Amino acid sequence: MIVTKHAKSRIKQRLGLPKRAHRSHIHKVLSKGKLYSRQKQEQFKIHYNHYLYIFRLTKKLEPVLITTFSMKIA
């Protein structure tokens, strides 16, 4: 699994997780999260714990985390 620099900074900013916790958190998101939408063959979104995670797939079908959004209702 690949995590972009942008996604790393958003996880730190929005979830407050340290760098060493990113990979385990994303594995948890992929296994326990709910598929929110699938726009194309190579892009999908997962909803987990009031956050939306946007992924793309590489040519080898490896997920790449692009960014994270908060879905909390104010």
Condensed to tens digits (0 to 9), the pLDDT of residues 24-70 reads 999 999 999 999 888 778 899 999 999 999 999 999 989 999 999 99
Contact of 62 with 56, CB cutoff 8 Å: no
CA 31/CA 50 separation, integer angstroms: 16
Total domains, the chain = 1
pLDDT (tens digit, 9 = 90+) per residue, 14-27? 999 999 999 999 99
For residue 64, the enclosing domain spans 2-70
Q: What is this structure's pTM? A: 0.89
Q: What is the CATH number of the domain that holds 29?
A: 3.30.2310.20
